[in-house]
Amino acid sequence: MVDVEGYEVREGLYYSKDWMWVKIEDGRARIGVTDYAQKQMREIVFAELPSVGASVRRGEPFGTLESVKAVSDLVSPLSGRVAEVNDRVSERPELINEDPYGEGWLIVVEPTDLEEDIKALMTFEQAVEWYREIAKKS
């Protein structure tokens, strides 16, 4: 784990520029929002997630998060079929603020072309550099 200007970036994950993280687990992808995203949103009060079996497409919204500040689309970092949904987040959306890389995960996807989708994501090292660039600008 690296702290970049107060934002946690975890090793072993891939990252999208839409503020999502991806953890590959036995050919499936667990997806959640980054620490940066949850801190920017502040207090998350509602999560709308897809149903198991729904299709998601890389670069397209698959749900929304509502905070006291705004409503934000959740943009899928890869394409595939939703295999699991974290119902606990729907019941307790604050889990995203409390533990974005753990209990606050959102969905698990069975990717249709994982190898290709991974190429569009940032590695841990690339994400750290990207966060540092963003921190310089703010």
* Domain containing residue 56: CATH number: 2.40.50.100
Kindly state the tokens that stand for 126. Answer: 């690339």
**128 falls within a domain:** no
For residue 118, the enclosing domain spans: 2-122
Average pLDDT over residues 20-39: 96
**77 falls within a domain:** yes
**137 falls within a domain:** no
Kindly state the tokens that stand for 46. Answer: 């509602």
Whether residue 136 is predicted with pLDDT greater than 90 in this model: the reply is: no
Give the total number of structural domains in the chain. 1
**7 falls within a domain:** yes
Percent of the chain with pLDDT over 90: 89
Query: What pLDDT sits at residue 76?
Result: 98
The pLDDT tens digits for 63-117 are: 999 999 899 999 999 999 999 999 999 999 999 999 999 999 999 999 999 999 9
DSSP 8-class letter at 122? B
Whether the Cβ atoms of residue 56 and residue 29 lie closer than 8 Å to each other: no
Whether the Cβ atoms of residue 135 and residue 5 lie closer than 8 Å to each other: yes
Query: What pLDDT sits at residue 135?
Result: 78
